[in-house]
Structure 1
Amino acid sequence: MNSVDQPTPVAHTTFDPTNAARIAARAAAARAAEHDHDGGFPAADVEHLRTLGLLAAPIPRDEDGAGLGEEPGAADLCSVLRIIGSGSLALGRIYEGHVNALQLVARYGDRSQRARLFEDARLGHLFGVWNTELFDDGLKLEEVAGGYRLRAGKILASGAGFVSRPLVTARTVPGDLAFMVIPELTPGTRADLSDWRAHGMRASATGKVDLTGLPIGSGELLGEPDSYSRQPYFFGGAWRFAAVQLGGIEGVIDIWRDHLRRTGRGPDPHQSARLGEGLIATETARLWVERAARIVFEDDLHPERIVAYVHLARTAVETAGLSVLQLAQRSVGLQGFLRDHPLERASRDLATYLRQPAPDFALTSAARYVLGETVSAGDLWRDSGDVP
Structure 2
Amino acid sequence: MRTSFAEALQRQEGAPDLSRATGASWPSRLTSFADLCEDKAAEADEHSRVHSDIAAALSTLGILTAPLPWQAGGAGLAEASNWSKLLDALRTIGAADLSIGRLFEGHANAIDLVRRYGTDSQFQTLAHAIGNGAMTGVWGADGKNPLQLSKVSDGWLLQGGKILASGIGLVIKPLVTAGSEEGQRLIMLTLEPRERADLSSWTPLGMQSSATGSVDLTGMVVSEACLIGKPGDFTRQPYFSGGAWRFCAVHLGGMQRLVDLYREQLLLRRRGDDPYQLQRVVACVAAAGTAAFWIRAAARQLALRSTEAEKSVALSNVARGITERAALDIMETVQRGSGLPSFIRPSPLERIVRDLGTYLRQPMPDLAMADAARFALANAAPIKDMWNFDEDQLLS
TM-score of the aligned structures, taking structure 2 as reference length: 0.90
Q: What corresponds to 2:150 in structure 1?
A: 142
SS of residue paired to 2:186:
strand
Q: What corresponds to 1:6 in structure 2?
A: none
**Shift of residue 191 of structure 1?**
1.3
Pick one of 224, 235, 249 that aligns with 1:243.
249
Of residues 41-50 and 230-239 in structure 1, the stretch that sits farther from structure 2 once superposed is: 41-50
Pick one of 304, 310, 321 that aligns with 2:327.
321
Q: Which runs of 5+ in 2 are unaligned?
A: 1-18
**Shift of residue 31 of structure 1?**
0.7
Q: What corresponds to 1:89 in structure 2?
A: 98
Aligned length: 372
Q: What corresponds to 1:258 in structure 2?
A: 264
Q: Following the alignment from structure 1 to structure 2, what is the Cα–Cα distance between the partners of residues 188 and 229?
A: 27
Pick one of 135, 138, 162 that aligns with 1:154.
162
**Shift of residue 254 of structure 1?**
1.7
Residues 246, 317 of structure 1: 8 Å contact kept: yes
Taking a change above 3 Å as real, the CA distance of residues 210 and 39 of structure 1, as seen in their structure-2 partners, is farther
Matches within 5 A, 1:69-148: 69-70=78-79, 72-136=81-145, 138-148=146-156
Matches within 5 A, 1:147-226: 147-172=155-180, 175-226=181-232
The percentage of counterpart residues that share the same residue type is: 41
Q: What corresponds to 2:296 in structure 1?
A: 290
Q: What corresponds to 1:334 in structure 2?
A: 340
- 1:227-280, CA deviations, whole angstroms, 9 ceiling, x for partnerless residues? 111100000010000000000101111211121122111222211221111011
Taking a change above 3 Å as real, the CA distance of residues 337 and 21 of structure 1, as seen in their structure-2 partners, is same
**2:159 aligned partner, one-letter code:** R
**2:152 aligned partner, one-letter code:** V
SS of residue paired to 1:164:
strand
Residues 42, 204 of structure 1: 8 Å contact kept: no
**Shift of residue 300 of structure 1?**
4.8
Pick one of 352, 358, 361 that aligns with 2:358.
352
Of residues 260-269 and 190-199 in structure 1, the stretch that sits farther from structure 2 once superposed is: 260-269
Q: Following the alignment from structure 2 to structure 1, what is the Cα–Cα distance between the partners of residues 28 and 297?
A: 22
Q: Which runs of 5+ in 1 are unaligned?
A: 1-9
Point out 4+ residue stretches in structure 1 off by more than 3 angstroms: 15-19
Does residue 54 of the first structure (1) align with residue 63 of the second (2)? yes
Q: Following the alignment from structure 2 to structure 1, what is the Cα–Cα distance between the partners of residues 63 and 47?
A: 26
Q: Following the alignment from structure 2 to structure 1, what is the Cα–Cα distance between the partners of residues 73 and 53?
A: 26
Q: What corresponds to 2:284 in structure 1?
A: 278
**Shift of residue 171 of structure 1?**
2.3
Of residues 34-43 and 187-196 in structure 1, the stretch that sits farther from structure 2 once superposed is: 34-43
Taking a change above 3 Å as real, the CA distance of residues 42 and 266 of structure 1, as seen in their structure-2 partners, is same
Residues 55, 170 of structure 2: 8 Å contact kept: no
**Shift of residue 70 of structure 1?**
1.0
Residues 69, 75 of structure 1: 8 Å contact kept: no
Taking a change above 3 Å as real, the CA distance of residues 248 and 21 of structure 1, as seen in their structure-2 partners, is same
**Shift of residue 38 of structure 1?**
6.1
Residues 281, 324 of structure 1: 8 Å contact kept: yes
Q: Following the alignment from structure 1 to structure 2, what is the Cα–Cα distance between the partners of residues 222 and 168?
A: 10
Root-mean-square deviation (CA, aligned residues, Å) is 1.8
Q: What corresponds to 2:14 in structure 1?
A: none
Residues 157, 206 of structure 1: 8 Å contact kept: yes
Does residue 366 of the first structure (1) align with residue 375 of the second (2)? no
**Shift of residue 60 of structure 1?**
1.6
